[in-house]
Structure 1
Amino acid sequence: MQWLIDLFNSQIVLPGGQALNTREVVGNVFGLASALGAMQRKMWAWPVGIIGNALLFTVFIASILDPSASTPSLLGQAGRQIMFIAVSIYGWRRWQQSKRSGGGGAGDTAIVPRWAGLKVRIGMVAFMAIGTVALTPLFRALGSYEPVWADAWTFVGSLLATFAMAKGWTEFWLVWVAVDVIGVPLLFSAGYYATAFMYLFYGIFTAIGFVVWARAQAREKPSVETAHLDPTVTNPDSATPSP
């Protein structure tokens, strides 16, 4: 099992001497692949993302696994990996149900995107604000990295964005933008450079994803089969009953 331990602790050393945790890099590669699958509305986006979440969970509890670790624990980031896995299982099943029921779009896409609506959008904003305020003292008590509110914000936003993606709401891409605006500076300050750079790139990626989904929902309709109607009966309710 020594090879597994060595792999778990391996690092990638950059030319300037900066070392990156291999698990962090690989986990983010899986996360980026999952985002690409989400943009194309492919079913495989969910299991690929789950693998990346499992790897990143071990990264963000660094100081718990190894007290001598150079990076602090980000409990919000670690907790959201568990949340990602749970919500991704829900999203995976929901997309499967959508595909089986004929709710998919063009080709082998799992769903047709749709707008969430004004009431849901207001609820999203309220959820982000209330959730951040509620979780900040909890994360601070557990020893999360300062500023703790930023860690709570990224946790709540990630939960909301993943759930909205499962529902097929196009607005989920904009929630990710809000997460990245706060999450990128937090990750850089905590020393998680691979994840920070991935989030920085992902911020641009999410803007493209929003446009792709918005265009898709404008031109596609769910491929639900309609029942065959007898062309000889134009208005069944007005048909003359038999004597």
Structure 2
Amino acid sequence: MGPLGWLLDAQLHVAGSPVLVREIVGNVFGLGSALLGLRRVVWAWPVGMVGNALLLTVFLGGVFVTPQEHDLYGQAGRQVFFFAVSVYGWWRWSRNRRSSGVDGDQPAVAPRWATGRERIGVLLAAVIGTAVAYPVLAALGSWGPLPDAWILTGSLLATYGMARGWVEFWLVWIAVDAVGVPLLLRGGFYPSAAMYLVYGAFCAWGFAAWWRTSRAVRPTRATLPPSYSEVVA
């Protein structure tokens, strides 16, 4: 059995329940991406994409024969969308670095609060996205379609907010985790449920860190050199 075959089939037994090694590894990559995102490092995106690919196979239990045998299409679908949005985030953060001329040790994005218009857009997208995803997931036979619909929608909004550098994206993640933990526990996805708990605490920390950084960055941006102000005027 090669390394890929071992990763697809390997299991551990925790408290008498089988747990896929790839579920653990995928969540470790997800946590690594979150840590790099907290530090605003561009590598947060490709690291997260590896975790997305692994977790896609976990939540399609009927296709990849997982011990839980539950198909969480919302959870699986969000891995695909994560991958796509991560390409955008990777490009945006890389472009920020090039345009600002920062060196390799500097953060790739400056945190800021979303504008009132952007917040309204996020709220509308959350309601509409959940409303649209619910019947689709229910028709596909997803296990727990309503919470799964919010997890899918909220996760995409949080990832997009991270790419834009909005401080509020951490709060969206906390709302996703609050719904995801009980759903995953009931479905028997214990490593993912445990990781959601870790993510929740981590997101609270990340929110505080980005909030502090946004307050420190704002005065610096507000003070423009006289020559530049004259040119703009």
Structure-2-length-normalised TM-score: 0.90
Query: Contact 1:106–1:220 at 8 Å: present in 2 too?
Result: no
CA RMSD of aligned residues (A): 2.5
Could you list the per-position Cα deviations for residues 136-184 of structure 1 after superposition, in whole angstroms to 9, with x for gaps in the alignment? Answer: 11101111002x1100000000010001100111110001011111111
Could you list the per-position Cα deviations for residues 111-152 of structure 1 after superposition, in whole angstroms to 9, with x for gaps in the alignment? Answer: 110111122112212211111111111101111002x11000
Secondary structure in 1 aligned to 2:12? strand
1:6-155 alignment, distance < 5 Å: 6-14=6-14, 16-66=15-65, 69-102=67-100, 107-146=105-144, 148-155=145-152
1:166-185 alignment, distance < 5 Å: 166-185=163-182
Could you list the per-position Cα deviations for residues 203-230 of structure 1 after superposition, in whole angstroms to 9, with x for gaps in the alignment? Answer: 111011001001111112689xx9996x
Change (3 A) 1:99 1:69: same
Gaps of 5+ in 2: none
Take 2:121 and 2:102, find their aligned partners in 1: how far apart are those partners?
Answer: 26
Counterpart AA for 2:49: I
Query: Contact 1:90–1:166 at 8 Å: present in 2 too?
Result: yes
Take 1:174 and 1:34, find their aligned partners in 2: how far apart are those partners?
Answer: 17
Take 2:3 and 2:86, find their aligned partners in 1: how far apart are those partners?
Answer: 30
Take 1:228 and 1:129, find their aligned partners in 2: how far apart are those partners?
Answer: 45
Q: What is the match of residue 4 of structure 2?
A: 4
Change (3 A) 1:6 1:206: same
Secondary structure in 2 aligned to 1:101? helix
Query: Contact 1:105–1:111 at 8 Å: present in 2 too?
Result: no
Q: Decide which of 200, 203, 206 is 1:203's aligned counterpart.
A: 200
Shift of 1:106: 11
Q: Which structure dedicates a bigger proportion of its chain to helix?
A: 2
Take 2:101 and 2:129, find their aligned partners in 1: how far apart are those partners?
Answer: 32
Counterpart AA for 1:80: R
Change (3 A) 1:200 1:219: same
Query: Contact 1:113–1:169 at 8 Å: present in 2 too?
Result: yes
Change (3 A) 1:119 1:154: same
Query: Contact 1:63–1:69 at 8 Å: present in 2 too?
Result: no
Q: What is the match of residue 240 of structure 1?
A: none
Secondary structure in 1 aligned to 2:100? coil
Q: Size of the alignment, in residue pairs?
A: 227
Larger radius of gyration: 1
Could you list the per-position Cα deviations for residues 44-70 of structure 1 after superposition, in whole angstroms to 9, with x for gaps in the alignment? Answer: 11110000000000110011233x743
Change (3 A) 1:82 1:73: same
Counterpart AA for 1:38: G
Take 1:157 and 1:189, find their aligned partners in 2: how far apart are those partners?
Answer: 20
Query: Contact 1:158–1:176 at 8 Å: present in 2 too?
Result: yes
Secondary structure in 2 aligned to 1:220? helix
Counterpart AA for 2:130: T
